[in-house]
Amino acid sequence: MPTGVQKELYVLRRRPAYEKFVDSSFRTIAISMASMVALILVAILIVVFWGSLESMGRYGWKFLVTSNWNPVDDEYGVLTAIYGTAVTSLLSLLIAIPLGVGTAIFITESFIPTRAKNIIGLMIELLAAIPSVVLGLWAIFVMEPFLRPLLSFLYIYFGWIPFFSTQPMGPGMTPAILILVVMILPIITAISRDSLNQVPISLRQAAYGVGATRWSTIINVILPAAISGIAGGVLLALGRAMGETMAVTMIIGNSNNFSWSLLGPGNTIAAMLANQFGEADGTQVSSLYYAAFILMVITLAVNIVSQWLVKRLSLKY
């Protein structure tokens, strides 16, 4: 058609239709893939909510405060699992915060050579990579037998306290709490470490400059400056602890009977789902969905607040 050397050399000077098509369809594909995230999230919420409608209608709020879980009479209340979820996650947090923040301080302030710091940091990252089912196996065969005499001691001498009021006889809440500590420690350590590293050196200099000691600097100046990031990490860990399933299921004992005792078996919402969901039918399924919905809403709220806190930190410096 056209004449002239130029046009023959650059036959693609005008973009052919197929190239435009590739371009625009690629864009469309990318958008739809990004939308998948939103789609899945909304679908999960809908599915879980839909599944729990029957149980919600039947038990309403009472579901949260009654503790009989009885497939025979078809009566369900989730208090035992809520108590278990709250107690295991909060107590494990209570132990993991000082450990994690202490470790983070130890590997960010210059107590030990950089090499040693990196090795400890690496080991903690690897700890995060160990699958929870392996930790559960270890808890069953190693930790719990080792722990039992100690817990029996608690029972014998402090049995009058409701929390120690049952004889430890195998899986129970305490080993579950300890294994949760192992699982959330890396999260708290990693995020605390990042937050501490972001505190500008000039603040350190300021404190040392007026004659503060190392720990006075850490406690009065550095930790307060890093606190919002650390708090975000702690909340993230809380969300993880509440939703953690396998290790807890394997070691908590899966008891549906309510007990205050931390030495005896208990249950968490996640463990209950893992245990019963596959074999349940009727109202039990719906009740499990209801429990899942509660877990989902709480973890979502915790996660959103933690994201907000972590973002606030990155805005400040």
Partner 1 sequence: MTGEATSISGDPPSNLYYKPGLRRNRTNRIFTLLSGLFSFVAILPLILVLTYVIFKGATRLSISLFTMLPPPPGLDGGGIGNAILGTIIVTCIAGMIAIPVGVGGGIYLAEYAREGAFSRFIRFGTNVLSGVPSIITGVFVYDIIVSSRIILGSSYSAIAGGVALSILMLPTVIKTTDEGLKLVPDNLRKGALGVGASKFVTITHITLPMAFTPIATGVVLSVARAAGETAPLIFTALFSYYWPSGSDAFFNPIATLSVLIYNFSTQPYQVQNELAWAASFILVVFILAMNILSRWIGHLTSK
Partner 2 sequence: MTATSSPRPSQISTDPCISLQNVTISYNEFEAVRHVYCEIPRGKITALIGPSGCGKSTILRSLNRMNDLIEGCSLTGRVMFDGDDLYSPNIDPVEVRRRIGMVFQQPNPFPKSIYENIAFGARINGYKGDMNELVERSLRQAAVWDECKDKLKESGCSLSGGQQQRLCIARTIAIEPEVILMDEPCSALDPISTLKIEETMHELKNRFTIVIVTHNMQQAVRVSDFTAFFNAEAQEGGSGKVGYLVEFNETEKIFHSPAQEATQNYISGRFG
Residues between 188 and 247 that touch partner 2 (CB under 8 A)? 200-213, 216, 220-221, 224-225
Nearest residue (CB) to partner 1, 41 versus 65: 41
Query: Percent helix, strand, coil in the chain (nearest 5)?
Result: 75, 0, 20
Partner whose binding site includes residue 127, from partner 1, partner 2, none (CB under 5 to 8 Å by kind): partner 1
DSSP state of 277: G
**Do residues 191 and 313 lie in contact, with contact meaning Cβ atoms separated by under 8 Å?**
no
The span from the CA of 34 to the CA of 314, in Å, is 25
242 binds, options partner 1, partner 2, none, Cβ within 5 to 8 A by partner type: partner 1
Which of 155/268 has CB closer to partner 1?
268
Q: How many CA atoms lie within 13 A of 108 on its CB side?
A: 25
Could you tell which of partner 2, partner 1, none binds residue 144, using a CB distance below 5 to 8 A set by kind? none
Binding partner selected for residue 201 from partner 1, partner 2, none, CB under the kind-specific 5 to 8 Å limit: partner 2
Q: Which of residues 18-57 bind partner 1 (CB under 8 A)?
A: 19-20, 22-23, 26-27, 29-38, 40-41, 43-44, 47-48, 51
CA atoms within 13 A on the CB side of 9: 3
Q: Are 223 and 199 in contact (CB under 8 A)?
A: no
| Residue 36, binding choice from partner 1, partner 2, none, Cβ under 5 to 8 Å by partner class | partner 1
d(CA 25, CA 15): 15
Candidate list 56, 137, 169, 221; residue touching partner 1; CB under 8 A = 137
Residues 55-84 that bind partner 1 (CB under 8 A): none
Is residue 299 near partner 1 by the rule CB under 8 A? yes
Q: Which single residue is written with the structure tokens 């090499």?
A: 115
Q: Which does 237 bind (CB under 5 to 8 A by kind): partner 1, partner 2, none?
A: none
Q: Which two tokens stand for residue 1?
A: 């058609």
Cβ neighbourhood burial of 240 (10 Å; 0-12, 13-18, 19+): buried
Task: Give the nearer residue to partner 1 in terms of CB position, either 1 or 129.
Answer: 129
Interface residues toward partner 2, by CB under 8 A? 110, 114, 200-213, 216, 220-221, 224-225
